[in-house]
Structure 1
Amino acid sequence: MQRFFGSLALILSITLSITSFGKGKILALGDSLTFGYEVEEEHTWPKLLEKKLGVPIINGGTAGATSAFGLPTLRFHLKRYTPDLVIYALGANDGLRGLDPKVTQKNIEEAVKLCQEKGIKLVLLGMKAPPNYGKTFPANFEAIYPTVAKKYDIPLMPFMLENVAGQKKLNQPDGIHPNAEGYKIIAENIYKVVTKHYDPTKHSKPEAGNKELQTRPK
């Protein structure tokens, strides 16, 4: 476990040396679905949402990340700036790997509690497990998100990939990661949820040409 967190810290420190995160107002915390696997940065949902809101968004997506990355990654970012909002989009890889839903829920709750302790708003994006795990596991896994949302009274988008998952024309050949067209739908869906609980007019807009606010970790 110590080696895991040590490796994570090393990866994050290298990332920081390559890319300056600037003063983002929103942190998008997730995995490859957030990072934007095999798509240009301008087509990722954080960048599309940033344009729609007019508010800087830091792309905190890490390929392969599970909910276990949530708390340490969040702590890392919060040492460098304080976002007004965190959009939590982790858990998809937990479902794909069949990880214990109780552990996944605990990981998510720890990140939620940290945000609430610091007075940071959080929007939770729900995930679904693949059907090949039978009935019990998917049901237990998918119950995590509404359970956490209700327990901590936070906004929930029931399924991050709503109207995109399973749609061949909206996904890459692997059938898992959205393409540019799929990300347009995801960004629009997230926008509808976020704007119910977050007023972008009260927060600063990105500065034109500011590369610090226009990059994601490489």
Structure 2
Amino acid sequence: MRKCIVCITLLLALNIQAQKTMEYLALGDSYTIGEAVPEKLNWPNQLVQKLQKDGVKINQPYIVATTGWRTDELIEAIETDTQLKNKYDLVSLLIGVNNQYQNKPIEIYDKDLRKLLSIAIDKSVHGAGGVFMVGIPDYGDTAYAKKKKLTNVAENVEKFNQVASAIAKEYNIPFYPLFTLSQKFFGQPQMFVDDELHPSGKQYQKWVDYFYQQLKKDRINK
């Protein structure tokens, strides 16, 4: 009789665990909040929608991101956000393009990114096992960059991506690069919003499709 009770208790516990709905925290800047696109079309929301269609129980993402934020501004925002939960099942980080655009020292980016990853790991139920990073896309050949006559963008963005990739490897966190993929969308107006710089919902969908299966393997189907 006692064995039966123990078995039933264990089965109930496993069932509750199986039904648990995941919570997702997305940290970043304009590329995460989705500048000038409806909320449902930014990439974190499209990721959640795709996971839900695959039967994954996950709530809409809680996003801490604003257009123009550098790493230090994201850190400050996280530290002052009273709505943040203590723990999340999944945490993403995509940050750095504004550090690069504003010509901030890459050494500062390195230092801040490490702090942000430490915060992300602390916010994750699974520690580093629940965190993933997304690389900075190339915007050097967008219509916006051409009009502004920006130079050496691709080279500089890649330097920031190299720092991010190396740190992700050091922390044993998946890093999904978008640099080469993003270059395929140059000259395609439908892939950008009206400012001719930020991605459209269609481009964000391509981002998610690009790393989706690997993300599921790395962080969902563990």
TM-score normalised to structure 2 length: 0.69
Deviation at 1:69, TM superposition (A): 2.5
Higher relative contact order (CA 8 A, sep 6+): 1
Larger radius of gyration: 2
Aligned to 2:170: 151
Deviation at 1:149, TM superposition (A): 1.3
Aligned to 1:189: 210
Aligned to 1:123: 132
Corresponding residue pairs, total: 179
Instruction: State the secondary structure of the residue aligned to 2:115.
Output: helix
Contact 1:91–1:127 at 8 Å: present in 2 too?
A: yes
Identity %: 23
Query: Distance between the aligned counterparts of 1:51 and 1:139, measured in 2?
Result: 30
Aligned to 1:39: 37
Query: Distance between the aligned counterparts of 1:44 and 1:107, measured in 2?
Result: 24
CA RMSD of aligned residues (A): 2.8
Larger helix percent: 2
Deviation at 1:128, TM superposition (A): 5.0
Query: Distance between the aligned counterparts of 2:35 and 2:154, measured in 1?
Result: 29
Contact 2:97–2:157 at 8 Å: present in 1 too?
A: no
Q: Does 1:65 align with 2:69?
A: yes
Corresponding letter in the other structure for 2:63: N
Distance 1:134 1:62, change over 3 A: closer
Match of 1:74 among 55, 75, 78: 78
Q: Which runs of 5+ in 1 are unaligned?
A: 1-22, 203-218
Distance 1:162 1:76, change over 3 A: farther
Query: Distance between the aligned counterparts of 1:177 and 1:170, measured in 2?
Result: 9
Q: Which runs of 5+ in 2 are unaligned?
A: 1-20, 53-57, 141-150
Corresponding letter in the other structure for 1:68: D
Deviation at 1:93, TM superposition (A): 1.2
